Structure 1
Amino acid sequence: MMNPIPSVSLSGFLQTQGECSKCNTQSKLGLILLDCFHCVCEDCIYKCADSESKQLVRCPVPTCRHCTLFQDRTPYNLLAEDLAFVLTVKEKASSNKLVCCTCVNHQVGSGHSLCLDCHLVFCKEDAKYHKKYGRSVSKKHQLLTREELNKITIEDLLKELQNKFGSCNRHNGNLIEKYSVVNGDYLCDKCASKDCMDHLMYTTQDILATSKGVLNKSIKKGQKTCSQSNHLIASLTKEFSRIMRTKDEVLERVGSFYNSLLTEIEIVRDDTLSKIGDKFEANLEELNACISSVQNLTDIHQRVYNYTELAYHFCSGKHLYSSYDTLQVKLEKMACDLATFKVPNFGDVSFKINKSMTSGRELIESFASLHLGSKYETGELVLGPTIPVPEPLLWINGIFLDKEGSMFVADGNNSCIHIFSNESYVKKVGDKADLKCPMGVSVSGNFVYVTDWMAHTLLSYNLSGKLVKKIGSNGSGAQEFWCPKGIAISESKEKIFVADLGNSRIKVYGLDLELKSYFSHDDIHGPKDVLVNSDTLIVLDSKSPFLHLFDLTGTLLRHLVDRSQPLLLKDPAFFTLDGENNVIIADEIGNSLVVYYLPENSYTQHSLGNDITKFSEPTGIAADLNGSLIIGNNGNKQLMKCFIKTTTSFV
């Protein structure tokens, strides 16, 4: 129960009789004196009453925290409040900490100080006013002195509670039969039926039975808890002593180990510093020599680049000199200038310039051979007829041509594979029940293998169109794909290679679609397509250097494209290899074909058809045995046939 702390003393109440302590006005409705000795008019009580119970719960005066009505008063709470109040007051009385509830400056001394009916503590001066002006004049307001309080036991409280049921608070004579929760009165049945019909009531039998049961249960629980606490305290004390002994032993061992370790560290540190100093002094001269050599080599590289660019412009007909003789004199002077440079510790220079070069033409050819390679190709795109199809190809992806002239075209939006024979339409394989967006397609024997971009699967069909097997799901696990795209088959090794674009890896399967292995590389950033060329695998990547050459076990042999050269690709889709060692890539965003010539150690590139009237979003591409190209032109939903007419020149 909250200890009431009123804002005014009893003397203040006597001075303000007749005025409401909340609104400070003379009330016409009459004043009601609360336990905290605040006089409040009925109008203020009505305004501050609880909205549900319509009862005043706390004193309306803002500075007062006094509780005027206890909510949820059950038989258990009645006894608990009595016990808790008396025991708390006894404890505070023994330590002289009791304070009067109406005047906080007065400590309680001897005399009448405790009201058992109202659960309030008073000093000797205010106790008599409480007995006269208490909230319920029907209560007995039994006051106990400090000495009487110390003699009270729990059994006495039960007896006192029994005595409360002696006679009705409204009039002496009838036995108490009920208790009103609203105003705290003990009433006979007649008074309860007459004046308190709407009050929450408890019978005396309920109160006594519940109070005794709860009290006995609390005493037993308290005894058990006390026994457990004593046992726990003894165990903790024993454990604490053991921990303290262990701590001392550990500290002693740690201190000894630390001292020995510190000595070893100092020895190693001194030895290491000595060795580092000797090594640094020995290598300082060598480091300075290397720095000087690098600076000289950088200067030489810049001069060679300038001379090479000049020779290239002359070969291309873009020179700025009025005659060949003028250029020849200039180049001979440059050759003599280069010969004066010395490159220590770097071996033979690959371009081998010397003073004996007296012919300007020889010097030009030497530079051109160094910078451009011995072969340079240009090409012209010759367009052929379109291949008729029975229905619109909504989105052309991978294209495959076999040796018998059959063509297989993956249609992404129609969710099927179209089959042609000698450019005549035959039938389609697959439907939307099996495929969502077929991307890559390849054929081995009597089976068609397809990658599904959206379903993240790999499928096989027979030539009759029946689904044989379907594997994979979305993810990065060994048996999963993330947007698989290109597919290629090695007939000799009976292996299927799949470009797993989202996982940046190449997966290897048997012809029965059982996983054999997979591999990746730091330079692979999203493979778009794969192509088997004899015993090697060419991988088309999403980023520079675009083309990588692997053996069929997954070992990188080399990059086919030099990182230092400008690239013409914008968004590679699929690629093919013709009979003249040309790698031809369909550039979807660039609306063009990019051709790479691949000799042993060099390449050239050029872009064909970068005109939207020729190509519009080309994706699928394949080359037949005669060198003709089949291109899927998605901008106008056509299959186009063309070939590249190349010319070769040496400079």
Structure 2
Amino acid sequence: MAGASYQLNFLSQIQNARVELETNFSRLIQNINVFKSQLLEKLQEMENEHRIEVEKEEELRRLTQCLSSTVISSNLGNRISSITDQIQHLFSENNCKLLVLDWDLSTEQILLNNFSDYIPLYTGNSSSSSSCEEVQLSLEQKYKIISIPTNTSCLAGQGCGELDDPRGVGIDDDTDHIYVADYNNHCIVVFERDGSYLREFTHKRMVNPVGIYVSGSLDRVYITIFGRDAVHCYKLDGTFIKEITHYGTTSAFNNPTGITMDSSERIYVCDQGRDRVVVFTKHLVFITVLTSQLSNPRDVKAVGSEVAILHDGEYCVSFYTRGGMFLRRVVKKGNNKQKVGHPVCFCIDSDNNILITDSTHDCIKIYRNTGFHICNIGCRGNSEGEFMEPAGIALFDDNSIVTLCDRDDDQLQVFEL
């Protein structure tokens, strides 16, 4: 009996030791998994930092190579702007027919082109259209012929997803579908290229959407949510994927506005309340703060290796490298037809011309990438081709159509070029 009791006791000890060993082994596995996760996050962070450093080195090398011309250009910039403003004003006062006044960096000469004719911007039948400003246009100027809108879609009160204070607009380049961020209806409304209503989608946390970027190739729609200080990600069909309200370790969004993506599938978000532009992966994982030196950044666009930001300031469009190095500022603010009163949104065409919606002058203002004013599209009014507080603007891939949200009239207008 004593032998049997001793054997049972021994087996019990073995069982307890086995249980303890299994428990310790399970804890070890858990600790290994936690350590593995932390290590992967650290490696991802180091990879992002390394990529940014490599980009900065490449950009610094490129900028160093053209330092001489850059210094000359920067020294001339303010003087050139002042001279061109004065000459424009002088010609305007004398009713001279002058459109193009710019500075050619290659020859260091002021360019003046005179034309024999004025071409009216709009030729609609509306009586208020006569109040629209007439502009001169060169024969080679891409925006020389702007037709009245091909379609005005879903006015308030007409059903079919009627709009109420539309703010942002994005285009799916694969299908040419137009996605509109409807601020007061808390939804995204989708139209065909010709303005026909397709569908709309929303989410219980979609409160006052503002900015929007559409990627057909990724099947993603990225939206800034003003009412929740958040960024949302959806599939093209409206399936909710993700919401983020913070970036980094402690920073919360404060009035996010414009949003875009570059060719490397990095997302840029204007955090207007914090005067920052923040960079994320396509999965909305935080990478870095591009810049925190701008006042009220409203909109952002990626152009080649550069990032353009629309903001408050004497010059309202600033260009940075993707690594956050400042390059230049263009487009002067002011209260006349050449300058921007209150910039809202912008886009950049294939020739690097800058199109800005101006809610003070109720028009689209077009500039060269040097900041030289080319022409205005539209004026204040309620007819086709006229605007009341224009907001979002976008271009189709072929640059043949301009789409624009008209906030006060709650409509989407489509223009043929």
Range of TM-score over shorter length: 0.5 to 0.7
1:574 — aligned with what? 345
Q: Secondary structure at the match of 2:299?
A: strand
Distance (whole Å) between structure 2 residues aligned to residue 515 and residue 375 of structure 1: 48
Evaluate the alpha carbon distance shift between residue 388 and residue 477 of structure 1 in structure 2; reply closer, same or farther with a 3 A threshold: same
Please say if 1:549 is aligned against 2:319.
yes
2:235 to 462, 468, 477: 462
- Equivalent residues of 1:549, 1:558 under 8 A apart: yes
Please say if 1:591 is aligned against 2:356.
no
Q: C-alpha displacement at 1:478, in angstroms?
A: 4.7
Evaluate the alpha carbon distance shift between residue 582 and residue 555 of structure 1 in structure 2; reply closer, same or farther with a 3 A threshold: same
2:372 to 600, 603, 618: 603
Evaluate the alpha carbon distance shift between residue 605 and residue 447 of structure 1 in structure 2; reply closer, same or farther with a 3 A threshold: same
Evaluate the alpha carbon distance shift between residue 452 and residue 602 of structure 1 in structure 2; reply closer, same or farther with a 3 A threshold: closer
1:447 to 220, 224, 228: 220
Map 1:629-648 → 2, pairs under 5 A = 629-643=402-416
Question: Which runs of no fewer than 5 residues in structure 1 stay unpaired?
Answer: 1-300, 320-364, 645-651
Q: TM-score, normalised by structure 2?
A: 0.61
1:392 — aligned with what? 162
Evaluate the alpha carbon distance shift between residue 538 and residue 464 of structure 1 in structure 2; reply closer, same or farther with a 3 A threshold: same
Q: C-alpha displacement at 1:572, in angstroms?
A: 1.3
Q: C-alpha displacement at 1:635, in angstroms?
A: 2.2
2:68 — aligned with what? none
Evaluate the alpha carbon distance shift between residue 371 and residue 382 of structure 1 in structure 2; reply closer, same or farther with a 3 A threshold: farther
Distance (whole Å) between structure 2 residues aligned to residue 575 and residue 597 of structure 1: 13
Evaluate the alpha carbon distance shift between residue 314 and residue 540 of structure 1 in structure 2; reply closer, same or farther with a 3 A threshold: closer
Distance (whole Å) between structure 1 residues aligned to residue 225 and residue 248 of structure 2: 16
Distance (whole Å) between structure 1 residues aligned to residue 184 and residue 88 of structure 2: 53
Residue identity opposite 2:387 in structure 1: F
Evaluate the alpha carbon distance shift between residue 317 and residue 543 of structure 1 in structure 2; reply closer, same or farther with a 3 A threshold: closer
- Equivalent residues of 2:297, 2:309 under 8 A apart: yes
- Equivalent residues of 2:171, 2:179 under 8 A apart: yes
Map 1:71-470 → 2, pairs under 5 A = 313=91, 372-374=110-112, 378=137, 379=144, 381-389=146-154, 390-404=160-174, 405-422=176-193, 423-431=195-203, 433-444=204-215, 445-470=218-243
Question: Which runs of no fewer than 5 residues in structure 2 stay unpaired?
Answer: 1-78, 98-102, 115-135, 138-143, 155-159
Residue identity opposite 1:592 in structure 2: C
Q: C-alpha displacement at 1:519, in angstroms?
A: 2.9
- Equivalent residues of 2:335, 2:341 under 8 A apart: no
Q: C-alpha displacement at 1:591, in angstroms?
A: 1.1
Distance (whole Å) between structure 1 residues aligned to residue 88 and residue 200 of structure 2: 58
- Equivalent residues of 2:367, 2:373 under 8 A apart: yes
Q: C-alpha displacement at 1:311, in angstroms?
A: 12
Distance (whole Å) between structure 2 residues aligned to residue 382 and residue 314 of structure 1: 26
Deviations 1:486-509, CA, capped at 9 Å, x for gaps: 00011x312000011111110000
Evaluate the alpha carbon distance shift between residue 443 and residue 608 of structure 1 in structure 2; reply closer, same or farther with a 3 A threshold: closer
Distance (whole Å) between structure 2 residues aligned to residue 310 and residue 569 of structure 1: 15
2:118 — aligned with what? none
- Equivalent residues of 1:576, 1:585 under 8 A apart: yes
Residue identity opposite 1:611 in structure 2: R
Deviations 1:322-350, CA, capped at 9 Å, x for gaps: xxxxxxxxxxxxxxxxxxxxxxxxxxxxx
Q: Secondary structure at the match of 1:619?
A: strand
1:518 — aligned with what? 289
Q: C-alpha displacement at 1:309, in angstroms?
A: 5.2
Distance (whole Å) between structure 1 residues aligned to residue 250 and residue 266 of structure 2: 17
Please say if 1:532 is aligned against 2:302.
yes
2:14 — aligned with what? none
- Equivalent residues of 2:221, 2:234 under 8 A apart: yes
Q: C-alpha displacement at 1:465, in angstroms?
A: 1.9
Residue identity opposite 2:111 in structure 1: G
Q: C-alpha displacement at 1:370, in angstroms?
A: 7.2
Distance (whole Å) between structure 2 residues aligned to residue 564 and residue 398 of structure 1: 24
Residue identity opposite 1:484 in structure 2: P
**Which is strand-richer, 1 or 2?**
2
Please say if 1:617 is aligned against 2:386.
no
Evaluate the alpha carbon distance shift between residue 370 and residue 317 of structure 1 in structure 2; reply closer, same or farther with a 3 A threshold: farther
Deviations 1:561-594, CA, capped at 9 Å, x for gaps: 3689976222211111223332111112321111
Deviations 1:21-80, CA, capped at 9 Å, x for gaps: xxxxxxxxxxxxxxxxxxxxxxxxxxxxxxxxxxxxxxxxxxxxxxxxxxxxxxxxxxxx
Q: C-alpha displacement at 1:532, in angstroms?
A: 1.0
Q: Secondary structure at the match of 1:560?
A: strand
Evaluate the alpha carbon distance shift between residue 586 and residue 512 of structure 1 in structure 2; reply closer, same or farther with a 3 A threshold: same
Distance (whole Å) between structure 2 residues aligned to residue 565 and residue 585 of structure 1: 15
Q: C-alpha displacement at 1:608, in angstroms?
A: 2.6
Q: TM-score, normalised by structure 1?
A: 0.40
Distance (whole Å) between structure 2 residues aligned to residue 486 and residue 424 of structure 1: 25
- Equivalent residues of 1:373, 1:602 under 8 A apart: no
Deviations 1:212-268, CA, capped at 9 Å, x for gaps: xxxxxxxxxxxxxxxxxxxxxxxxxxxxxxxxxxxxxxxxxxxxxxxxxxxxxxxxx
Distance (whole Å) between structure 1 residues aligned to residue 356 and residue 88 of structure 2: 32
Evaluate the alpha carbon distance shift between residue 316 and residue 380 of structure 1 in structure 2; reply closer, same or farther with a 3 A threshold: farther
Q: C-alpha displacement at 1:619, in angstroms?
A: 0.5
Evaluate the alpha carbon distance shift between residue 588 and residue 401 of structure 1 in structure 2; reply closer, same or farther with a 3 A threshold: same
Residue identity opposite 1:400 in structure 2: G
Residue identity opposite 1:411 in structure 2: D
- Equivalent residues of 1:476, 1:503 under 8 A apart: no
Q: C-alpha displacement at 1:536, in angstroms?
A: 1.1
Deviations 1:374-418, CA, capped at 9 Å, x for gaps: 568745643223343313200111111122211111001111111
C-alpha RMSD of matched pairs (Å): 3.5
* RCO comparison, higher one (Cα < 8 Å, 6+): 2
